[in-house]
Amino acid sequence: MAKAPKSSRVNFIILRYMRRPILVLITVYATSMVGWILIPGIDENGNAVHQSFFHAFYFLTYTVTTTGFGELPYPFTEAQRMWGIVSLYIGVIAWFYALGSIVGLVQNADFKRSLAERQFAKRVTRISDPFCIVCGFGNTGALLVRGLSDAGMTVTVVDWKDERIKTVSLRDYRSDVSGLCADARVPEHLIEAGLLKPNCKAVVALTQNEEINLKISVTARLLNPEVWVATQSTSSIHEDTLATLGDKVHIIDPFQTYAKYLGAVIANPAIHSLNQWLAGTPDATLDKVLRPPKGNWVLCGFGRMGHWLREALEAQGITTSVVEPNPLPDDEDLPNLIVGRASQDNLVKAGVRNAAGIVAGTNNDSDNLSILLNARALNPDIFFVVRENRYRNLVVFEAAKVDLIMMPGLVSARRILFLLIAPMMKTFFETLRQRDTEQDGRFIDEVVDHLGSVVGGTQPRIWTLDTLDADIHDHDRTGFQVGGKRGNALQRLTDAGRKVTLEHLMGDPGDRSRRLACVPLVIESECGAQVLPDLSTAVLPGDRLLLCGDARAYNLIDATMHNEYTLAYLMTGKDLPRGWFMRWLFTKRIFTNASEIKTTEA
């Protein structure tokens, strides 16, 4: 609905701009042509001839464009030559004027923006896969888009900074990523980015201004109630408003997320290696274990991050002392508070010499680095968590060899990415922690060992397997038959009365006695979600699986899902006859495994 005015706007600008040059050209051509027709010429026999309209136009065409084929069809008279000079000069000037206008139009900022908008809108209209809209292409936005594109998701990006949008087209994304330079607060721009399309899956608001994020979230919610909205927020005022928008709006507070995470890691250190490994951090392996110590911790900086961290650490029975440059509001009372900069004196006062861990959590990277150096000098063995606010400082932080680096942008981006491409991951971790507490911290270690032995390596692939094909959903909607002759291998075999289990799907199509390097993390069926399901669990069409495996497993499981012969082999160990004739031959005549063959004849 917003497309028609957009395209006509471009045309309108062109017409507005070119109106006068076109009128000038027409007048000049018309005047010159009239002159050529009126001035008589002489043919080879000396008779007076007038040029026809066609010849006049032909002469002008090659003269005014400075091509110059000569005096056609007969050599000119002197009067004609004089008129030739006049029409050449005025024609060339008219053309220069027209060309200059075109160049001016192309350089016109408004025109360029309209053109870019139209191209963007066209690209968005052509998207047929599910896609996400990301508003804001800063640190967090860029990280999220990278993650989404690695997962094969189409993305449209809206950012008001032109340079940022230019970088979108320069990066080597694996999926289709298109950017629009526009103010995301304007609803029309969100619509151009595809907000109203039925395959728009999510809108993510990641601008640096929380007011704008709120506006985007509200707009998205109101214009498309089906769409899933995620935004980053670090202030409670906005969160209250956002919370009223309903359960499809997710608010990510990187500090709260990180504090909870740190608490969980202190409760069971294996969570950290598991999380890093699942998130695909380069070099992260499952056997690297980091152990944040219990004992007194020093928190430098007591803003939002400090508050959340203190809460999380105290929940783990850890005492904290706080160093904060600004005095706290009167109603807040802390036992171990030192007001002042995190200088060596203040750090000593906070008990850094005997502390087990320290968090440099101010919103200034150079402050955090100086805290790091001061604290190291006082206590070289201290466990260090440092907040890195700017992605470009990463090299410095890595060189400092701190134990944990907290990047708010990365925390938010990862959280949103998991919510978008692997929503079951939340269930997985929640159940994991719960069972771990029930089993005195042994459960997670077992899971890590299991994942390490089956999948292992670095950067595993995490993906959601939807056991119903997308096109089947369509048939469902339009009232066509589901299953039967259509659908994937799982649907057909289930319709034929066979029970397909996870073990069958996880089998190696090359040799069914081996298993693919893949672990089902969660299976979500009608009867609810099951975490780390047993391999004998039945898989029915419509179930959703969260799988973790290597690239080979990813490809082969997808192939198995779409090839009933492979799936039947994995189930029975026998290759079924292919083709009607072979099936007839082997069921009716020679072979005995008729029962197995019959069941696949859907």
Task: Give the binding site for another protein (CB under 8 A).
Answer: 509-511, 562-566, 575, 577-583, 586, 590-591
Beta carbon nearer to another protein, 345 or 601 = 601
Beta carbon nearer to another protein, 316 or 563 = 563
What is the full DSSP assignment across 351-405? Answer: TTTT-SEEEE--S-HHHHHHHHHHHHHH-TT-EEEEE---GGGHHHHHHTT-SEE
3-state secondary structure of 125: helix
Spatial distance between the Cα atoms of 134 and 232, rounded to a whole number of angstroms: 12
CB of 467 to another protein, least distance (A): 18
3-state secondary structure of 533: coil
CB of 464 to another protein, least distance (A): 23
Closest CA to 125 of 223, 185, 200, 13: 200
3-state secondary structure of 228: strand
330 Cβ contact partners less than 8 Å away, ≥ 6 residues apart = none
Beta carbon nearer to another protein, 205 or 516 = 516
CB of 580 to another protein, least distance (A): 4
Spatial distance between the Cα atoms of 478 and 464, rounded to a whole number of angstroms: 25
Angle in degrees, 0-180, between the axes of helices 424-438 and 408-421, rounded to the nearest 10: 100
Beta carbon nearer to another protein, 54 or 580 = 580
Q: 523 — phi, psi (to 5°)?
A: -120, 130
Beta carbon nearer to another protein, 179 or 541 = 541
Beta carbon nearer to another protein, 129 or 558 = 558
407 Cβ contact partners less than 8 Å away, ≥ 6 residues apart = 139, 387, 388, 389, 391
CB of 513 to another protein, least distance (A): 10
CB of 518 to another protein, least distance (A): 19
* 3-state SS, one letter per residue, for 69-116: CCCCCCCCCHHHHHHHHHHHHHHHHHHHHHHHHHHHHHHCHHHHHHHH
Question: Residue 106's CB: how many other CB atoms inside 10 A?
Answer: 11
Question: What is the helix (H) or strand (E) element at residue 13, kind and residue range?
Answer: helix 3-38
CB of 491 to another protein, least distance (A): 12
Spatial distance between the Cα atoms of 207 and 352, rounded to a whole number of angstroms: 37
Beta carbon nearer to another protein, 391 or 565 = 565
Q: What are the structure tokens assigned to 491, written together?
A: 């649907």
Q: Describe the strand order of the beta sheet including 297-300 as a list of residue ranges.
A: 337-339, 320-324, 297-300, 357-360, 383-387, 404-406
Using CA atoms, how far residue 412 sits from 138, 181, 233, 234, 404, in Å, is 12, 23, 10, 11, 16
Q: Are strands 544-549 and 177-181 parallel, antiparallel or unpaired?
A: unpaired
CB of 175 to another protein, least distance (A): 23
CB of 565 to another protein, least distance (A): 6
Beta carbon nearer to another protein, 244 or 595 = 595
CB of 492 to another protein, least distance (A): 8
Q: Tokens 């069914």 belong to which residue?
A: 512
Beta carbon nearer to another protein, 336 or 599 = 599
Burial of 209 from C-beta contacts in 10 A (0-12 / 13-18 / 19+): exposed
Beta carbon nearer to another protein, 126 or 578 = 578
CB of 475 to another protein, least distance (A): 17
CB of 587 to another protein, least distance (A): 11
Beta carbon nearer to another protein, 146 or 486 = 486
Question: Residue 464's CB: how many other CB atoms inside 10 A?
Answer: 17
Using CA atoms, how far residue 270 sits from 260, 282, 310, 418, 576, in Å, is 15, 17, 22, 19, 45
Beta carbon nearer to another protein, 208 or 593 = 593
CB of 559 to another protein, least distance (A): 9
CB of 558 to another protein, least distance (A): 12
Beta carbon nearer to another protein, 366 or 593 = 593
Contact 164, 138 (CB under 8 A): yes
CB of 496 to another protein, least distance (A): 12
Beta carbon nearer to another protein, 163 or 511 = 511
3-state DSSP helix/strand/coil % of the chain, to nearest 5? 50, 15, 35
Q: How many Cα atoms sit within 13 Å of 510 on the Cβ side?
A: 6
Q: What are the structure tokens assigned to 310, written together?
A: 């203190």
Beta bridge partners of 547: 463, 520
Q: Are strands 461-466 and 544-549 parallel, antiparallel or unpaired?
A: antiparallel
